[in-house]
Amino acid sequence: MTGLSFDVAHLLAGGLVLMSFTLLYQDRLSALINVFALHALVLALAVAWQAYVQHAPHLYVTAVIALAFKAIVIPLALHRIIRQLGIHREIETVVGVGPAMLVGIGLVALSMVVMLRVTEDADRLAREDLAFALSVVLLGLLMMVIRRNAVGLIIGFMSLENGLVLAAAGAKGMPLVVEISVAFSVLIAFIVIGVFLFRIRERFETIDIEALDRFREARE
Amino acid sequence: MMAAPAISLLLACVGGLLALGLGAIGLAAIGLARRPRTGALIYAASGIVSLIAAAVALNALLSAGPPALATLPLGLPWVGARFRLDALAAAFLLVVDLGGAVASLYAIGYGAHEREPQRILPFYPVFLAAMNLVVLADDAFGFLVAWEVMSISSWALVLAHHKDPANRRAAHLYLVMASFGALCLLLGFGLLAGPGGGYGFDAMRGHPPAAGVAGLVFGLTILGAGSKAGLVPLHVWLPQAHPAAPSHVSALMSGVMTKVAIYAFIRIVFDLLGPPQVWWSVVALLLGAFTAVLGVLYAMMQTDLKRLLAYSTVENVGVIFIGLGLALAFKAENLALAAALAATAALFHVLNHSLFKSLLFMGSGAVQGATGERDLERLGGLIGRMPQTAFAFLVGAMAIAALPPLNGFASEWLTFQAVLVSPLLGTTALKFLVPAVGAMLALAAALTAAAMVRAFGVGFLGRPRSPAAQAARETDRWSRAAMFVLVGLCLAVGVLPGLVIDALSPVAQAMTAGRMPVQAGQAWLSIVPIAESRSSYNGLLVLVFIAASAGLAALAIHRFASRAVRRAPAWDCGFPDPSPLTQYSAGGFAQPIRRVFGGFAFAARDVVDMPGPGELRPARFTAIVRDRIWETLYVPIELAIGYAADRLNRLQFLTIRLYLGLVFLALVGLLLVLAIWV
């Protein structure tokens, strides 16, 4: 792999991690959705670059799916939903921004240490890529843990899934990458639009997931 | 017969038993299993198949050929289901299948009274087949699967009379203890297989583990096999589960299944684990001695006849473990002849116990069938009403009490011979320990005699203590036939111990690399374990002496005393005897023993409530016997598990975010482990 293609791949994967951090501290819902769109756009670029570098045309399909579906359709739909629900001006966080960022940095360091050590004999690009992808996954999980709002939860889940797609695309010769990304996208579409928001709204008149806990008779 | 057809025939027998189980399920499904004839048919077929297998095993044991191997394309794909028939397996197969054949014969008659035979018929042949498979298995996977099938089918048999809450409780406890034992064996085999995963026994035999790991495997095996065999303090399930099953199954569980557990111990410790270490024998000896003494003390306290017999099984397992512990000690110090003597004694006792304990359980089953009672305090006077059962039970009781010329004496005598050569041992600790263990063995033997006098005397002699005992009738022909087969075997083995010792010598040789002197050449069929100058025993001579003296005494009495039969009231201390309850009771018989040992073993207390002068209420005497092992070991475990379960129950009711957080923390924790240690 030449220097330039490596650097560009590195840049795009790093950009994805950066976007994950941005997601982490974004407490306005509409801005959160916009950042997610950007997250998906960076992912699409990264996958497309991998397709170009690896001469794997099927990866272009994944990139187009990421672009069209996650960077355009889902953000537009989410904007529509929060406007319909009248929560587009809401602000919500659970953990403060500072601690969240610190934990996030720790997670990135952890994934670097783990991945670089475990994959010593792998391809250099794949190693970096896997480390970044694991960081994105962990940051997405962190976001799911610290958000209270269902929209935040879903965006956390989708950014986690973006990390998985990045890992799949970066690992050269991995089979069924396209299929996996399609399957995930369908899954997310179902969660986002079909079931989650409207059901919660219908039943509990709110999309705060604490309402679900009340329903389950949470005992803390 | 050559070795290879033998193992195929045995596997065919196992297949036949499994097919019988499946057939019984089919018959139960279409409602035919309730008919008595169906039950008799299934028991008869099981008995015939077991008899064939026993004959094959006996042939294999006597011919002493090289081990026969067989592999079936079942089980783990890269191991297959391997089977091996060597001397050790043949000896235990003989015990298993002989017991199975006689129990089936008994069940043809006994099973006819069963109210819900469809709960027993499918599991009975499967239970027999699984015990055969455990002994035949030659890889850890097959062994454990067969072991678990054995546990679960016997659990289902314990649960046959599930309407009684005590039986349900016993079955639950049995299931918990069986799972614990299987877990220990699983871990032990895992350690034996090593990181390479060689689950075949030949691979384990070829690469015995290092000393530390071997010790760990030994401990796990003691726990796993000991919990099935009934070693104190893992015996708690046994006296509850064995009596709960139908009597022919009780006979199998007590007489045969505990032997399969002992087989597991021998197979792992003597065969797979490499050279033994001295401390193993110390553990086995101590556990065996405590098991023997505590088992018989518990037996002494019981008034439930079958529970008494189950505790006596615990005692006999202790005796067998003393023999095995001695064999380990001698083997660790390279005293091959003494090790062979001790191992032979243990194996001999395995055979004997399977004979007389099956006999006694069958007798108690016949009593239960005739009277509906198991409580000694409600029996009595049965010798007049069930003379043949009483005779068979008496022979079994004398055998288990180690009276010559019966078989129990021969094996316990051999065990004592092994104790007596302990001065040869080099380790100081063993030099002191073994005589102490011998003393405990003697104590256990004496107490067994007392317990059996109590069981027979209170149960069969005197006057009936309940209307049910009054109305008892002799049991059916099949049951009596099975009991008399065992009576004959007890006597034959007791009179001709030399033949058994010779037959067992290849097994002992495989276990200890030593060989006892051949007994067949001894004059007058006596047995000489080491040398004539040291000790010898002649069962035949004892039998002839007993027969001659008893005959002479009877002749003299009938010759010189009056022949007239005189019936007169029994002496009643001057009081007219109003009730059979004034007879000597089982509780009263046990009281001296309870006074002596009860304090430390049972925290026993006698509470006497004596009304003052002028009060009209009756005086009351209450004997309180507590189970110290249950209270000090199992109650805390039960409480701890309950406490932990209560705490963990809160995990069911967390918030979604907390669940996500737990997943997240688990992931990060695992990654941290990876980052730090890999």
State which amino acid sits at residue A85: L
Q: Do A220 and B655 touch (CB under 8 A)?
A: yes
Average pLDDT over residues B558-579: 73
Give how far the C-alpha of residue B591 lies from the chain's centroid of Cα atoms, to the nearest Å.
Answer: 27
Instruction: Give me the residue from B656, B667, B678 closest to A212, CB to CB.
Output: B656
Helices marked H in B531-634: 539-560, 586-602, 628-629
| Phi-psi domain of B84 (left: phi exceeds 0; alpha: psi -120 through 50; beta: other) | beta
Distance from CA of A145 to the nearest CA of B (A): 5
Q: Show residues of chain B in contact with A113, CB under 8 Å.
A: 675
Give how far the C-alpha of residue A52 lies from the chain's centroid of Cα atoms, to the nearest Å.
Answer: 23
Q: Cβ of A151 under 8 Å from any chain B Cβ? A: no
Q: Is B39 helix (H, G, I), strand (E, B) or coil?
A: helix
Phi, psi of A149 (to 5 degrees): -85, 140
Per-residue confidence at B248, pLDDT binned at 50, 70, 90? very high
Look-up of token digits 């299948």: B97
Instruction: Give me the residue from B660, B668, B678 closest to A110, CB to CB.
Output: B668
Angle at which helices B305-332 and B258-266 cross, to 10° = 10
Instruction: Give me the residue from A117, A145, A216 closest to B678, CB to CB.
Output: A117
Q: Cβ of B671 under 8 Å from any chain A Cβ? A: yes
Full-model pTM: 0.81
Q: Cβ of A121 under 8 Å from any chain B Cβ? A: no
pLDDT over 60 at B1, yes or no: no
Tokens of B339: 């090790």
CB B361 within 8 A of CB B255: yes
CB A169 within 8 A of CB A70: no
- pLDDT tens-digit series, residues A13-65: 899 999 999 988 887 888 888 999 999 999 999 989 888 888 888 888 888 88
Q: Which of B654, B668, B670, B677 should one mutate to test binding to chain A, selecting the residue with the greatest count of A CBs within 10 A?
A: B668
CB B351 within 8 A of CB B480: no
N-term to C-term CA, chain B: 57
Average pLDDT over residues B269-285: 92
Q: Is B216 helix (H, G, I), strand (E, B) or coil?
A: helix
Q: Show residues of chain B in contact with A213, CB under 8 Å.
A: 655-656
Tokens of B275: 């050279």
ipTM, 2 dp: 0.83
d(CA B583, CA B461): 10
Distance from CA of B641 to the nearest CA of A (A): 22
pLDDT over 70 at B618, yes or no: yes
Rounded mean pLDDT for each run of 10 residues along chain A, 220 residues in total: 79 91 86 91 90 85 84 85 74 74 91 82 76 91 83 84 84 70 71 58 58 56
Give the residue on A whose Cα is nearest the Cα of B655: A213
Of B253, B269, B86, which Cα lies nearest the Cα of B160?
A: B253
Say what percent of chain B tops pLDDT 90: 56
Please provide the average confidence, as pLDDT, over all residues in chain B.
89
Tokens of B582: 């004034």
Q: Show residues of chain A in contact with B674, CB under 8 Å.
A: 114, 117-118
- What is B255-285 written as a DSSP string? IIIHHHHHHHHHIIIIIIS-S--HHHHHHHH
Q: Cβ of B513 under 8 Å from any chain A Cβ? A: no
Report domain extents, chain B.
637-677
d(CA B405, CA B550): 14
Say what percent of chain B tops pLDDT 70: 98
Instruction: Give me the residue from A94, A142, A218 closest to B654, CB to CB.
Output: A218
Q: Show residues of chain B in contact with A216, CB under 8 Å.
A: 653, 655
d(CA B295, CA B574): 40
- pLDDT tens-digit series, residues B380-430: 889 989 999 999 999 999 999 999 889 999 999 999 999 999 888 888 888
Sign of CA dihedral B46, B48, B54, B56: negative
Report domain extents, chain A.
3-215
CB B368 within 8 A of CB B456: no
What does the angle CA B31 – CA B32 – CA B33 come to, to the nearest 5 degrees?
Answer: 95
The CB density around residue A148, as the number of other CB atoms within 10 Å, is 14
Q: What is the pLDDT of residue B559?
A: 81
